[in-house]
Amino acid sequence: MSGAFPELSPSTRPERSRTTVRDAPSDELTPASVPHRYAAPLGAARPVDLPREKPAVERILQHTDWPLVGVSLALSLLGALAVYSTTHMDTGAATAVRHLLNMGLGLVFFALISRLDVYRLRSLTPWLVVLGWAGLVLVLLIGKEIYGAKSWIVIGGGFTIQPTEFMKVALCLGLAWALSDRLRPKVAQPGHLQVVLAWALVFLTLALVMLQPDLGSGLVIGVLGFGVVALSGASRWWVLAAVVGAVSAATLAITTGLLKPHQMDRLTTFLNPEADPSGDGYQVIQSKVAVGSGGLFGQGYLQGRQAQGGFLPVDESDFIFAVVAEELGLLGGGLLVLLLAFVVLRALRIAQQTTDVFPRLVAVGIACWFGFQAFENIGMTMGVMPMTGVPLPFVSYGGSSMFASWIAIGLLNAMAIAVREDS
């Protein structure tokens, strides 16, 4: 699997040349003869014109990955339209406006992250991972239980924080940090100790998330970890061991009653939603009706029978794709999928372009996170994945998900800027 990327090299940022003179013996240069910018030096040295360094903002704007930013912005705006459609009869435009405010604050995070030097960010990664774990512990202590999971911290004024969403960002950084440290010589692959450390990060995070319990985010974290380790160049035996471990853990959770009753009900509903059409199977059945009734062109914006009639529970977040498919049809739903696929492929392209292991694996982690979470959310609405309650990146209503998504885009953009400046 690692053949999809060029050969990995040790995590070292290329040095930029700062030479200002050529062919000048060192004894002929005195402090007075050292060339000032655009000034002719004294002695035998020949001047080399240095281009005027552009201001930081201008440089960032020039090298920003605008297609990535534009598509992410389009997804957020499409989400605002869908959120308004499903909530305007109850709250007017208030919920959609809050979605736009979340997007605006997310753009601020994006702009700040884009200015970071991703090579220096590596040294901060252990602290960010510890901070993420602290958030997961805090939510277990003081969090509010919603829909059977203790995943939110209420901060007042109707605002909540979901630490798991930010932990996904920290885990992408943490895995890249662990697997890019002390690569084995010649083969440029992580050693056994590095892989063990990476899996320790995944399993500790997974344990804290499952204590909430949040099965959907647990699946995302598991796939994220597996994808990064598999594409890091680690030995295939580590990948095989991960598969065996995941299957064993899932079997143990199901057969020993480790999963909560409502989680088991969701798995049973996934296998046969018609068995309880007025209970646990209701959401899946109504969602499939909404998606199927959209046809090719949809029933029209604000005209969806399921969405406008209130038949879709939590349709502003978990089942937002069903709203898009019902009102905008196969064309609208297909466009949404293509936009999400573009973001994932763009992340993989950035990973392929960078020559440094750390940012490469961060980009791979973001691609795995966005790709699987989108598949999980959309698959849930069509009955091909169990109900797990994960948001659709950029589209679903929710501040934590929106902020984390735009922070991830900021990291990708910072990597793209570094690649273009070094090329």
Evaluate whether residue 116 is within a structural domain: yes
At 185 the pLDDT is 46
pTM for the whole structure: 0.83
Give 224's Cβ-side CA count (13 Å radius). Answer: 34
At 58 the pLDDT is 73
Evaluate whether residue 303 is within a structural domain: yes
- Using alpha carbons, list the distances in angstroms from residue 179 to 18, 254, 360: 31, 31, 11
Give 306's Cβ-side CA count (13 Å radius). Answer: 30
> By residue range, what is the domain housing residue 282?
63-422
At 17 the pLDDT is 43
CA angle 61-63-68, nearest 5°?
90
Evaluate whether residue 39 is within a structural domain: no
Q: What is the dihedral of CA 234, 237, 240, 246, to 10 degrees?
A: -80
How large is the average pLDDT for residues 29-36?
A: 41
Indicate whether 21 pLDDT > 50: no
How large is the average pLDDT for residues 246-262?
A: 69
Lowest mean pLDDT among 101-105, 314-318, 365-369, 373-377: 314-318
Evaluate whether residue 97 is within a structural domain: yes
How large is the average pLDDT for residues 408-422?
A: 90
In the chain, the number of structural domains is 1
Evaluate whether residue 16 is within a structural domain: no
At 272 the pLDDT is 67
**pLDDT band for position 148 (cuts 50, 70, 90):** confident
Closest CA to 47 of 15, 21, 73, 28: 21
Q: What is the mean pLDDT of the chain?
A: 82
**pLDDT band for position 24 (cuts 50, 70, 90):** very low
How large is the average pLDDT for residues 377-384?
A: 90
Are 102 and 146 contacting, i.e. CB atoms less than 8 angstroms apart?
no
At 35 the pLDDT is 42
Residue pLDDT, tens place only, 188-219: 577 788 899 999 999 999 999 988 888 889 99
Evaluate whether residue 385 is within a structural domain: yes
How large is the average pLDDT for residues 155-182?
A: 90
At 303 the pLDDT is 92
| Residue 94: how many other CB atoms lie within 10 Å | 12
Indicate whether 222 pLDDT > 70: yes
Indicate whether 111 pLDDT > 80: yes
CA angle 350-355-358, nearest 5°?
80
Are 263 and 388 contacting, i.e. CB atoms less than 8 angstroms apart?
no
CA angle 293-294-299, nearest 5°?
110
Indicate whether 19 pLDDT > 50: no
**pLDDT band for position 47 (cuts 50, 70, 90):** low
At 125 the pLDDT is 94
At 43 the pLDDT is 46
Residue pLDDT, tens place only, 264-323: 666 766 666 766 676 667 888 888 999 999 999 999 999 989 888 888 888 888 899 999
**pLDDT band for position 40 (cuts 50, 70, 90):** very low
Q: What is the dihedral of CA 75, 166, 232, 360, to 10 degrees?
A: 60
Residue pLDDT, tens place only, 383-393: 888 888 899 99
In the numeric block, the tokens 């959401």 are attached to 283
Lowest mean pLDDT among 97-101, 173-177, 283-287: 283-287
Evaluate whether residue 220 is within a structural domain: yes
Name the more confident of 282 and 50: 282
Give percent above pLDDT 70 in the chain. Answer: 78
Indicate whether 96 pLDDT > 80: yes
Give percent above pLDDT 90 in the chain. Answer: 49
Q: Ranked by mean pLDDT, which of 76-80, 235-239, 260-264, 304-308 comes out on top?
A: 76-80
Evaluate whether residue 295 is within a structural domain: yes
